[in-house]
Chain A
Amino acid sequence: MNDAVKPAARPAGRAGRNLELPEHLKAYKGVWVFIEHDRGHVHQVSWELLGAARRLADTLGSQVAGVLLGGPDEKLDAFAQEAYTYGADLCYVVRDPVLAGYRNEPFTKGLTDLVNQYQPEIVLLGATTMGRDLAGSVATTLSTGLTADCTELNIDPATRALAATRPTFGGSLLCTIMTLAYRPQMATVRPRVMPMPRRDDSRTGHIVEGSLGMIETDIVTKLLEFIPDTTRNTINLPYADVIVAGGKGLKMQDNFRLVFDLARVLGAEVGATRPVVQAGWVEAERQVGQTGKTVRPKLYIAAGISGAIQHRVGMESADVIVAINTDPNAPIFDFAHYGIVGNALQVLPALTQAFRAHLDKRVRKVA
């Protein structure tokens, strides 16, 4: 009896929620990447996203477009050329004096107008301070779904929707999120989550020029100055090749020097877990994980780290993971390559000594 009043084929939603894509949104096609650049350089996350976009577009049988917004003096054409080599088929380029230097207002208008005009199916942005600022603004203006800090992007075979996976519940579980009844589907991805695509210099593309239709007096917020970081912020975890990281298993702040000792011998960067950063043992820039940095080093040594998902999603792409933990059942041993069951306070100095002895010998030979 109940079946008779229910509309046919309602998807597994609650409360009469619309999960069907309305007819007028079916025209949205193509995968876009917002290409982030500042002071003459493209952020590498944009190239990483082009690699992911290429894969999604190939699955959907559609095209990849880069979006470049910037001032008239910026090298947007050169950036577009580079975008083709990483997988873009075309680039939408908007040049305007008010787009020199990132500001929310003109960039939100620029990207929103392009989306409304050219109707992409998917829009990807880097989860940087610029990308998150812009993504949240554009998604709200367009009233569409946005999934932050995705660790995996796929096309759902049943619905052809973007299936965006990200950690949830403070990083203890993963969830897959889809935007079914709205377009475009938007997502941000953090630097280093997606692998850098292989550059193909034979690839070409074309530019579609757009205009902004805004003048400086329309814009309330003024960018007075950009103050570059000096020595204060020299920690560059996301792009470090070797990382030694410590967790609460090191017991005390003072013991963290053992992590630094090993890092020095390896020429490594030092990382830490969220609890360690929250306890103030090391700087926030050293935090690895969902709320910290995502890293992809060749070698990651985790000392006294249990391996909660929050941490795991930030470092599991490392080529080689060595984990030291007293608990043989610690989750980190589920995804490490080498596990040492033992007290990090004893293992770290032993490793420091072993690496020093071994590498010194080799380095001297090379010299």
Chain B
Amino acid sequence: MHIVVCIKQVPDSAQIRVHPVTNTIMRQGVPAIVNPYDLFALEEALRLKDQFGGRVTVICMGPPQAEESLRKCISFGATDAILVTDRAFAGADTLATSYALAAAIRKIGEEQAVDLVFTGKQTIDGDTAQVGPGIAKRLGMNLLTYVSKIVEVDLDQRRLKVERRAEGGVQLLDTTLPSLITMLEGTNEMRFASLPDMLRAARFSVRRWSKDDAGIQDVSKIGLKGSPTVVSKVFGPTPRAEKADMLVVADTSVNDVALNLLGKMFTQFPQLEEDLVERLSA
């Protein structure tokens, strides 16, 4: 079985700070990590490899530094890692990104046919959840988003059964290989890297593919040129016109602050008090 896992290297958003005065993002020194949602995809792929044998190839589109994230995936047990990196990819939106990744996966398929592609549900920096569906459409693969459980894989019949999270319930879907799965978070727990895999990762030479290596000829489909969306403005949030009515615990006892809040709030918003009473009476 050959599984491709798409990952992205993202800044650890928990550590991003916005400059309090200029309202610009301070990226310096923010550590880069594997998009946490992608690890659920990788773990699921590794489990299938444990069960059925075969290979897990991890690919990432990004700058040369993203090699570190791919190495991390090798340390968890991935077989191969390819960094798709080219200046021509710069400025890509989700449509251009799915074009480049789909081309690279097609190329990987020339080495060994791909049975399954995994992605995370979304990234933590873009949060779009659009690249997975985009890759599936471009490759003509069956798309299975928000998969919470892989119920059954039948390699002989080339069939696949999954549970997919929907609004208010779960869909049980049956489909064929090859398929693209975007894995829901919290569905599995990432294994610990084994010592042999860590040693292997340290020595591993991540393959680097340019756009030409990925078989991309039409540069109008990638990078900024291949991106229909245009970012017209980036800005910080505007404070509300009225400042918050501030109560400070240090000035008075905490119980007084609590009573004070109730008094002010229910005077200014009497309907809120009525609503609360009505809810509690029901």
Give bound CA distance, A23 to B98, whole Å: 27
Cβ contacts under 8 Å, A346 to chain B: 249, 254
User: B186 interface residue, CB < 8 Å from A?
Assistant: yes
Q: How far does the Cβ of B27 sit from chain A's closest Cβ, in whole Å?
A: 8
Stretch in B46-54, B67-75, B195-203, B265-273 touching the partner: B265-273
User: B155 interface residue, CB < 8 Å from A?
Assistant: no
**With A170-B11, A227-B172 given, is the CB distance from A149 to B167 under 8 Å?**
no
- Whether B277 contacts A170 by the Cβ 8 Å rule is no
Give bound CA distance, A206 to B30, whole Å: 54
Find the B residue at minimum CB distance from A146. Answer: B130
Q: How far does the Cβ of A41 sit from chain B's closest Cβ, in whole Å?
A: 9
User: B210 interface residue, CB < 8 Å from A?
Assistant: no
Cβ contacts under 8 Å, B137 to chain A: 108, 136-137, 140-141
Q: How far does the Cβ of B203 sit from chain A's closest Cβ, in whole Å?
A: 32
Report the interface size for chain B: residues with CB under 8 A from the other chain. 97
Give bound CA distance, A338 to B146, whole Å: 38
Q: How far does the Cβ of A129 sit from chain B's closest Cβ, in whole Å?
A: 5
Cβ contacts under 8 Å, A341 to chain B: 246-250
Give bound CA distance, A141 to B143, whole Å: 13
Give the size category of A's interface with B: 35 or more
User: B93 interface residue, CB < 8 Å from A?
Assistant: yes
Q: How far does the Cβ of A183 sit from chain B's closest Cβ, in whole Å?
A: 9
Cβ contacts under 8 Å, A13 to chain B: 224, 230
| Interface set, chain B 134-152, CB cutoff 8 A to A | 134, 136-138, 142-146
Partner of A338, one of B225, B244, B250: B244
- Whether A173 contacts B262 by the Cβ 8 Å rule is no
**With A241-B275, A336-B244 given, is the CB distance from A136 to B228 under 8 Å?**
no
User: A15 interface residue, CB < 8 Å from B?
Assistant: yes
Q: How far does the Cβ of B139 sit from chain A's closest Cβ, in whole Å?
A: 11
Cβ contacts under 8 Å, B134 to chain A: 136-137, 139-140
Q: How far does the Cβ of B227 sit from chain A's closest Cβ, in whole Å?
A: 8
Give bound CA distance, A139 to B132, whole Å: 12
- Whether B231 contacts A177 by the Cβ 8 Å rule is yes
- Whether B14 contacts A275 by the Cβ 8 Å rule is yes
User: B258 interface residue, CB < 8 Å from A?
Assistant: yes
- Whether A354 contacts B169 by the Cβ 8 Å rule is no
Q: Is the interface of A mostly helix, strand, loop or mixed?
A: mixed
- Whether A177 contacts B230 by the Cβ 8 Å rule is yes
Cβ contacts under 8 Å, A16 to chain B: 225
User: B21 interface residue, CB < 8 Å from A?
Assistant: no
Find the A residue at minimum CB distance from B18. Answer: A172
Stretch in B78-86, B105-113, B121-129 touching the partner: B121-129
- Whether B232 contacts A38 by the Cβ 8 Å rule is no
Partner of B128, one of A133, A148, A334: A148
- Whether A220 contacts B95 by the Cβ 8 Å rule is no
Q: How far does the Cβ of A169 sit from chain B's closest Cβ, in whole Å?
A: 5
Cβ contacts under 8 Å, B247 to chain A: 338-341
Find the B residue at minimum CB distance from A329. Answer: B20
- Whether B254 contacts A176 by the Cβ 8 Å rule is no
Cβ contacts under 8 Å, B146 to chain A: 129, 133
Q: How far does the Cβ of A185 sit from chain B's closest Cβ, in whole Å?
A: 9
Q: How far does the Cβ of B132 sit from chain A's closest Cβ, in whole Å?
A: 7
- Whether A14 contacts B91 by the Cβ 8 Å rule is yes
Find the A residue at minimum CB distance from B138. Answer: A140
Cβ contacts under 8 Å, B223 to chain A: 15
- 13 more A-B contacts (CB under 8 A) besides A18-B225, A133-B145, A145-B95? A13-B224, A133-B146, A137-B133, A146-B94, A146-B130, A146-B229, A148-B127, A148-B128, A163-B232, A173-B18, A177-B230, A266-B280, A363-B281
Q: 25 A-B Cβ contacts within 8 A?
A: A104-B143, A136-B131, A136-B132, A136-B137, A139-B134, A143-B228, A144-B228, A149-B127, A172-B13, A172-B16, A175-B234, A175-B235, A176-B235, A178-B230, A221-B142, A227-B170, A299-B272, A335-B240, A336-B244, A341-B249, A347-B249, A351-B261, A358-B262, A366-B278, A367-B281
